[in-house]
Amino acid sequence: MDRLVVGVARPANPPAGAAMAAHVAHKIPAGDGPYARAKHYQLVDKDLDASIAWFWKAINSGDKVDSALKDMAVVMKQRGYLTEAIDAIKSLRHLCPRHSQDSLDNILLDLYKASGRTKEEIELLKQKLRKIYLGEAFHGKTTKPARSHGRKIHVSVRQETSRMLGNLAWAYMQQGNFMAAEVVYRKAQMIDPDANKACNLALCLIEQRRLADAEAVLADVLARHGHLSQHQHRGDKIVAKVEELMARISSGGGCCSDRDVDDDEMVELLDEVVRQWVAPYMRSNRRLPVFEEITPLCREQMAAAC
């Protein structure tokens, strides 16, 4: 990062009225501290390298350390400094309070995905799933506050678990491990069904040459999205994705693995995935209800699906 912090410039001093308007419009913190200056460079001057330098200064001086670290990592990603952003979070996150750790994990996951570090992404996703499994991620509550497209929302345990499982399955797909991806997508669909994940599940089946199973999954998606109203635009995209996958099935599935999958192998793989999540915590009985529900049911569904 030495090449970025050559000199710490200061924002130009615009007229007081213009400066106040800019701060209000971009929700820049009041004052003249390092963090406020970093945000000015990031959002007003659009000088991202200068903002990184001031975020570093904010962290070193103890000025809104958790916000400065998160914002700096996001700006580094924009500039393509992916490795530096990952190293910064790993080395400085101990300076941040406990309530900031989850959002730092989410930024780290984005960085792993963007940099193709799939193995580390998978390990972090498993860690987050273990926390949900133990009831630690939501601190005993059924929902937690979050942001989506700038709006404050509340995410349920089911929604977050399904989202994490979907991300884990996608990471397995990037590794070409379509069997593991299938298992995890099925688990996610049991918790909180979603058309996008169903399409990805179908793709996993196509890659394993299980075309009839894939066609059945896609037919179910079309049946659920046959009558669309307020989500018409999203539905159009889903239908287009289903049609694309159906065309691939009709053409024979493309270049896929010829490997057959039998009942025993699928159940064994499911057990292995679950064992990886809970192995360090076998002595604990603090399981959320959602995990109590899916463990036996998932075995039955997977055995029936094979």
Residue 81 DSSP SS3: coil
Alpha helices by DSSP H, the chain: 16-25, 34-40, 48-61, 65-79, 82-92, 101-115, 118-134, 157-174, 178-191, 195-207, 211-224, 232-250, 263-278, 289-305
- Among 85, 101, 116, the domain boundary falls at 116
Q: List pLDDT tens digits, range 32-83.
A: 899 999 999 999 999 999 999 999 999 999 999 999 999 999 999 999 999 9
C-alpha distance from residue 269 to each of 183, 188, 262 (Å): 8, 16, 11
- Among 116, 151, 183, the domain boundary falls at 116
Tokens 């018409």 belong to 232
- For position 88, which CATH number holds? 1.25.40
Whether residues 106 and 177 fall in one domain: no
pLDDT (0 to 100) of residue 276: 55
The verdict on residue 152 lying in a domain is: no
pLDDT (0 to 100) of residue 234: 56
Number of domains in the chain: 2
Whether residues 191 and 282 fall in one domain: yes
Whether residues 83 and 201 fall in one domain: no
Whether residues 286 and 185 fall in one domain: yes
Whether residues 82 and 188 fall in one domain: no
Q: List pLDDT tens digits, range 71-95.
A: 999 999 999 999 999 999 999 999 9
For residues 92 and 73, the answer to whether their CB atoms sit within 8 Å is no
Residues facing residue 156 across a β-bridge: 143
Whether residues 171 and 299 fall in one domain: yes
The verdict on residue 122 lying in a domain is: no
Whether residues 183 and 290 fall in one domain: yes
Which ranges of the chain have pLDDT less than 70?
Answer: 1-26, 226-235, 253-306
pLDDT (0 to 100) of residue 305: 46
The verdict on residue 46 lying in a domain is: yes
The verdict on residue 283 lying in a domain is: yes
State the Cα–Cα distance between residues 62 and 20, nearest whole angstrom: 24
Which residues are CB-contacts of 301 (< 8 A; sequence separation ≥ 6)? 186, 190
Q: Which residues of 264-288 are buried (b: 16+ CB within 10 A; e: fewer)?
A: eebbebbeebbeebbeeeeeeeeeb
The verdict on residue 127 lying in a domain is: no
Q: Greatest CA span in the chain, whole angstroms?
A: 73
DSSP of 171-202:
HHHHTT-HHHHHHHHHHHHHHS--HHHHHHHH
Whether residues 75 and 172 fall in one domain: no
pLDDT (0 to 100) of residue 154: 86
Whether residues 185 and 293 fall in one domain: yes
The whole domain housing 250 covers 167-305
Which residues are CB-contacts of 179 (< 8 A; sequence separation ≥ 6)? 204, 208, 261, 265, 266, 269
pLDDT (0 to 100) of residue 141: 78
The verdict on residue 248 lying in a domain is: yes
